[in-house]
Structure 1
Amino acid sequence: MAALRAKVVSSIGWTRAFLAIAAGSLSALAFAPFFASPVLFFTLPVFIWLIDASSGWRQAATSGWLFGFGYFFFSLFWVGEAFLVEADKFAWLIPFAITLLPAGLALYWAAAAATAQRFWPRDQSSGDVARIFVFAISLAAFEWLRGHLFTGFPWNLPGYALTYPLPLMQSAAIFGSYALTAIALVVFAAPLVILGDSRERLSRQTVLRICAFSLLPIGLLFGYGSWRLAEPQAVVPGVKLRIVQPSVPQREKWMPQFQRRIFDDHIALSLQAPDGTKDALAGVTHLIWPEAAMPFFPLESREALDILASVVPSGTTLVTGALRHDPNLVPGQPVPTGTRALNSILAFDEHADVVAIYDKIKLVPFGEYLPIEPMLSAIGLQKLTYGRGSFSAGEVPRPLMSIPGLPPVLGLVCYEVLFPGTAVQGSERPGLIINVTNDGWFGNTIGPYQHFYQARVRAVEEGTPLVRAANNGVSAVIDPYGRVLHELLLNVRGSIDSALPASVSPPIYARAGDWMLVLVLVLFAGFAAGIRRSTR
């Protein structure tokens, strides 16, 4: 390993740049749908060795940026699919979207590498184990910033590498994804870095001890998860869910000529059981449709409301993603100044009266609103989603929904489910998370699977079941341990009938939040200081 480290440290120019990008790119294989997390045992040491080879913070930042660009490019290349939905308008933006987004996110990794380098050992030949903890502290802190600054985008946090398979996912209930990121960076980087620092041939016993440094924490987390999964899972009595996944092609979703067909398709799928037999929602207490299920503003369509009132039987509540105006508009009238467009979840009773509302608060930049809209719209840019003008954000802090027959509901629209620690924003705890989404934007790529997997981790962090309704992949019922009880995969058209799993007592992370990250970083700082003190 010392020879491998020497080759990385001695690399210069394009060779060094290629090593950084290649190692970052391969790191993306650690996450859904590949779950090849052992690759990080080889790629993260390369990151540390590149910092070893840096003569100052600027060179470290360059290496960090190149590594991060490879990581985010191969994690997020699928965003380009969204620009093909209306290719005549947006296809020209694909090269910018698939390069500028990774380039921007990689700046966090550049800053992390530069910050770590300032605390790096002066004698690079001495082999300083403490720098592994310094590296983890710096990158984990900047990953937390990535999830919070400029609306945040915590996609594929390195901590997710310690959440597969299912027993390991239970560690999110203790630490949360950000603290797991710090732990993962140490666990995966340590063995080869320590072996590479040795200038002498090590005995087999020593090598095994070094490997145990990483494998023991993973084993402990796996053991805890196995014990936790042995707990029996209860269900909420008297609840029968039906989730509809229509798989409407995104190219047709907002075309006026398809509006009625799409609406009727949701109705037809709702009125038949998953086996195809017509049961007119017999026994179903809650019918759940995906994000913006009706490709119009339903509260402004008397015809649509009348149809819902005739279809939804007594004792059934329809919970659906929907667009709405605030205040509601009169059909055919111009939109008054000050009217807000909202991406919402609406709950309708059997009379098609609205009984609960949640308005999305985390909006997608360029997807649902244009940053600095006056300037960008003046040069012809517009958001990707339906309608001119930007959507508005709902009430903050995010309120829970009170839906008859269900425990308190946390509504999350689309990528709102990505944000660890900030999903629940009030003092009241939810008993259910309903996530409506539409991953049809991203075609048959890895994006929808990554989105779905991160939603599962939210259920574990909050100790709350999660019901996911997607226009296209992946719709599912997930229990508070992250187990998928029922699912409809990408490009599958149909429905799911399911009981509702009960929530569990709020786990440590649900109560402590990202103070768990602070705790882990403080411990790591103590380890680093102790190691350096003992070395002196």
Structure 2
Amino acid sequence: MWGPMALERLAEKIMLVWGIKRALLSLLAGGLAVLALPPFNFFAVMFVSMPVLVWLLDGASGNAEAGFIGRLRPAFATGWWFGFGYFTAGLWWLGNALLVDGTGAVWALPLAVFGLPAVLALFYGFAAAFARMIWSDGVGRTAALAAGFGLAEYARGVLFTGFPWNEIGYTAMPVPLMMQSAAVVGLGCMTMLAVFVFSAPALVGTRRGAVPGLLLALALFVSHLGYGWHALDIARPTAAVATDPVIRLVQPAIDQSAKWDSAERERNFARLLELTARPPLTESRRPTYIVWPETALPFLLTDNPGALARIADVLQVGQTLITGAVRVEAGQGGTASRYYNSIYVIDDEGEIIAAADKAHLVPFGEYLPFESWFGRIGLAPLAETFGGFSAAEHRSMLTLPGGITALPLICYEAIFPDMAQIGGSSGDLMLNVTNDAWYGMTPGPYQHLRQAQLRAVERRTPLVRAANNGISAVIDSEGRFVAAMALGEQGILDVDLPRARDKFFVQKNTSHYFWLLFAVLVFFGGGARMGNWRHAD
């Protein structure tokens, strides 16, 4: 029977595990946590994974004579192994990009599958070491662990251009009902609260502070669900009216290996035009806006002047095409040309009436950091069709015909909460164009979609997402799917554009909540630590 006594015995065994068994158990606990992420969304597994980590850290006390670093080394190692399991199981699909024909980077597969997780795991090692500095008995240690993860995830999102993919907070938000709290406190707070709540069962296994800790965790979880129900209830979907614009998402499902193949470019362009010209799917109401995915144009417009005329021939009067494209600025004075990952807005006469460039590029994917050094060992950006991209000098809204403002989010810009606004505004809609064909039929596109979905909730702004091979979707301001297309499916979606609702309880900046909660958790954990010292005396 799995009663308190059984959990006590289990906790004791886990605390006493050492050596390779400790490393393997931490690795497995981290890998298990990935089941809480898309496409599995089994968040309850975190009530197993996090308590195991707490019990492992209970037994991770270093030699008192080994100095400050030596005392924290066992905790750091425990956190690192947990992170290595989490990131390896959650990001293995990145290696698929190296298997696309023509990349010539298969030799780097181990670096993508194991090297990047090993680096990212350092942040979780830091989280565990930080928590261990103020570790105590009872609920104080779960507060310390929550603060440690909060600080580690904050650092992971900003250092070295940032890579906050699969932040722990997402494990507590598998469905819209459980996403609404993020609009109030932000993703960083959700990470700390999730770790605190998910760690609560560890208190039963050690019987220290179990009752108050469990009651507090239960109250937080019920409040989380209660607010989600309330937010969805007061913002029920409204019926579309005849004046609402219709948006068409085009998902061409072009294989990445053929995307820039010169022999396939005409066929790929013809596919996009054919999908665009299909009859309306929405009760004979023709689309107002047509959206193609990231870098959908399989050539530079400057190299194919007839392309704009062909687009104009397909568009009917009053229709507008929004497409991902590569934009080039010719070099001057002997300087090299600069290429940008961009969005073009093209009217029915084939004129480019607005454009936006990607500001946050993917390291090693779109540009090569420390290029002079990495270039000497044969590395190049994966998307090196034009020799790598340059970042936009500034971001700006896109104003579409009809007066609708759209916030551009190109590819993985959608995983950064701070990029879901410009000057505190997210416009009338957020426009996410992406190409996840690099990652095939793996969990990657599902994870990417989830993070974009949460941006809609945080900003209370509808999000329109066009992806090359999926997952294309229209998401309302509460994170509910209005329509979506399956991964790998080729086709179109015609959808009435959801209207932005009153932005109740949405914050322009949640950083003050993050640091306030972090301070409270550190104070609580540190206070419990001092209480332990007094009792020891």
* Matched residue type, 2:480: R
Kept after mapping to 2: 8 A contact 1:163/1:171: no
1:154 pairs with one of 156, 160, 164: 164
2:296 pairs with one of 293, 296, 300: 293
Whether 1:198 and 2:169 are equivalent positions in the alignment is no
The structural deviation recorded for 1:275 is 5.5
The structural deviation recorded for 1:461 is 0.3
The structural deviation recorded for 1:509 is 4.5
Kept after mapping to 2: 8 A contact 1:421/1:510: no
1:5-44, Cα deviation, whole Å (9 max, x unpaired): 2111111111111111010100111111111111111111
The structural deviation recorded for 1:444 is 0.8
CA distance in 1, matches of 2:156, 2:476: 28
Between 215-224 and 141-150, the greater mean CA deviation after superposition: 215-224
Whether 1:437 and 2:437 are equivalent positions in the alignment is no
SS at match of 1:433: strand
* Matched residue type, 1:394: A
Between 94-103 and 335-344, the greater mean CA deviation after superposition: 335-344
2:124 pairs with one of 105, 109, 114: 109
Kept after mapping to 2: 8 A contact 1:176/1:509: no
Q: Determine the structure 2 residue equivalent to 1:97.
A: 112
Change (3 A) 1:372 1:529: closer
SS at match of 1:228: helix
Structure 1 length-normalised TM: 0.91
Kept after mapping to 1: 8 A contact 2:281/2:494: no
Kept after mapping to 1: 8 A contact 2:279/2:286: no
The structural deviation recorded for 1:310 is 1.6
Q: Determine the structure 2 residue equivalent to 1:484.
A: 481
SS at match of 2:323: strand
SS at match of 2:324: strand
* Matched residue type, 1:263: F
1:247 pairs with one of 241, 247, 253: 253
The structural deviation recorded for 1:166 is 2.0
SS at match of 1:501: coil
CA distance in 2, matches of 1:276, 1:494: 14
SS at match of 2:398: coil
Change (3 A) 1:228 1:450: same
Change (3 A) 1:418 1:429: closer
Alignment of 1:457-496 (within 5 A): 457-496=454-493
Q: Determine the structure 1 residue equivalent to 2:178.
A: 168
* Matched residue type, 1:434: L
* Matched residue type, 1:150: F
SS at match of 1:130: helix
Q: Determine the structure 2 residue equivalent to 1:229.
A: 232
Percent identity, aligned pairs only, is 39
CA distance in 2, matches of 1:58, 1:365: 30
Kept after mapping to 2: 8 A contact 1:300/1:328: no
Between 311-320 and 261-270, the greater mean CA deviation after superposition: 311-320
Kept after mapping to 2: 8 A contact 1:299/1:328: no
The structural deviation recorded for 1:467 is 0.2
Alignment of 1:444-459 (within 5 A): 444-459=441-456
Change (3 A) 1:450 1:108: same
Change (3 A) 1:522 1:88: closer
1:389-413, Cα deviation, whole Å (9 max, x unpaired): 22000133x2211121252211011
Across the aligned residues of Structure 1 and Structure 2, the Cα RMSD in angstroms comes to 2.3
CA distance in 1, matches of 2:102, 2:212: 56
Q: Determine the structure 1 residue equivalent to 2:222.
A: 219
Q: Determine the structure 2 residue equivalent to 1:392.
A: 390
Unaligned 5+ runs, structure 1: 122-126, 200-205, 330-334
1:255-287, Cα deviation, whole Å (9 max, x unpaired): 00000100010000011147699x8xx632111
The structural deviation recorded for 1:528 is 3.1
Q: Determine the structure 2 residue equivalent to 1:362.
A: 360
Whether 1:131 and 2:128 are equivalent positions in the alignment is no
The structural deviation recorded for 1:128 is 3.1
Between 128-137 and 18-27, the greater mean CA deviation after superposition: 128-137
1:119-139, Cα deviation, whole Å (9 max, x unpaired): 223xxxxx3321111111111
Q: How many residues align?
A: 515
* Matched residue type, 1:232: R
The structural deviation recorded for 1:299 is 4.1
Unaligned 5+ runs, structure 2: 1-6, 63-70
The structural deviation recorded for 1:338 is 3.5
The structural deviation recorded for 1:214 is 2.6
SS at match of 2:80: helix
CA distance in 2, matches of 1:238, 1:416: 28
The structural deviation recorded for 1:247 is 0.3
Between 87-96 and 451-460, the greater mean CA deviation after superposition: 87-96
